[in-house]
Structure 1
Amino acid sequence: MDRANKTKNLTGRCLCGAVGYIVADAFLYAANCHCSNCRRTTGSAFKPFAGIERQKFRVTKGADDIKRFGNEQAHDAHCSVCGSLLYSVVREGEYVHVAMGTLVDAPSIRPSAHIFVGSKAPWFTITDDLPQHEGHAA
């Protein structure tokens, strides 16, 4: 727990356990992204992610085992051992989108919308009542 502001820290890790991280349970937003890049990097119909300021996220284990796709200001971070997508650095390097499936602990936030449904997989049907946006949520 972050004693300064009483925010609980969550842990996360890749499939093989080579890379681990902690993140404050203070996410600003969460969504299910259906864009083609998220589908390709996860190998699934969409990527559930939660966004937070970069300084509230820290790799605690296996930093040398992270394979980055992109640059310092915008990249996807995968475990180089097992390939798990752990997080994405976005918005000019200021925010991290944590792949929610890598969280060990349950966050207090839940996805509130589907984004980029204009390019969703044609074989997948969205069956919940969350708002759907053709691109980014407004």
Structure 2
Amino acid sequence: MIQSENSNARILVGECFCRAVRYEVADAFAYALNCHCSNCRRTTGSAFKPFAGIARDRFDVTRGRDNLLIYGDEITHDAHCARCGSLLYSVVREGAFVHVAMGTLTDAPTIRPTAHIFVGSKASWYTISDDLPQYQEHVTRAAG
């Protein structure tokens, strides 16, 4: 069950490609970024991964928990659908936050990515063509 810090937050739905796994998340994301690191590129098969971060208790798998394939441990991991392979989310920041892969949302969130991170290791064949700030590694409070 999703904890409610803000009872007015809309609940968004997301799911994997084969629809075996479904989740709900509050539309109250703390941040959203486009990650260009090699791990995100490999897990998504794309030039970068747009993700949105939220407190873990604002996210809940509502269907197909037994179809999750977890890479990592309880504190930090990537969660894929074991049937179709879709990367759904990552548990990060000592288990306190979830990074939702924005491409798996079936509902549109109000947040949009605000920067590109790890552009120092971005795909050489991809050119970033928007005006969002770019960071060689991770965004820090001092840099943001």
Query: Which amino acid in 2 is paired with 1:74?
Result: T
The sequence identity of aligned pairs, in percent, is: 67
Query: Which amino acid in 1 is paired with 2:95?
Result: G
Matches for 1:60-75 after TM superposition, within 5 Å = 60-75=62-77
Matches for 1:67-86 after TM superposition, within 5 Å = 67-86=69-88
Deviation at residue 5 of structure 1 after TM alignment: 1.6
- Identify the range of structure 1 (3-12 vs 37-46) with the bigger mean alpha-carbon deviation: 3-12
| Runs (4+) off by over 2 Å | none
* Distance (Å, rounded) in 1 between the aligned partners of 2:68 and 2:34: 24
Matches for 1:1-138 after TM superposition, within 5 Å = 5-138=7-140
Query: Which amino acid in 2 is paired with 1:99?
Result: A
- The Cα offsets for residues 64-120 of structure 1, whole Å up to 9 and x where unpaired, read as 000000111110000000000000000010000000000000000000000000000
Normalising by structure 1, report the TM-score: 0.97
Deviation at residue 4 of structure 1 after TM alignment: 6.2
Q: Which ranges of structure 1 fall in alignment gaps of 5 or more residues?
A: none
* Distance (Å, rounded) in 2 between the aligned partners of 1:4 and 1:115: 29
Query: Which amino acid in 1 is paired with 2:123?
Result: A
* Distance (Å, rounded) in 2 between the aligned partners of 1:95 and 1:15: 23
Shift in CA distance, 3/48, structure 1 to aligned 2, threshold 3 Å: closer
Normalising by structure 2, report the TM-score: 0.93
Deviation at residue 6 of structure 1 after TM alignment: 1.1
* Distance (Å, rounded) in 1 between the aligned partners of 2:28 and 2:114: 15
Query: Which amino acid in 1 is paired with 2:62?
Result: T
* Distance (Å, rounded) in 1 between the aligned partners of 2:6 and 2:78: 30
* Cα RMSD after superposing both structures: 1.2
State how many pairs are aligned.
Answer: 137
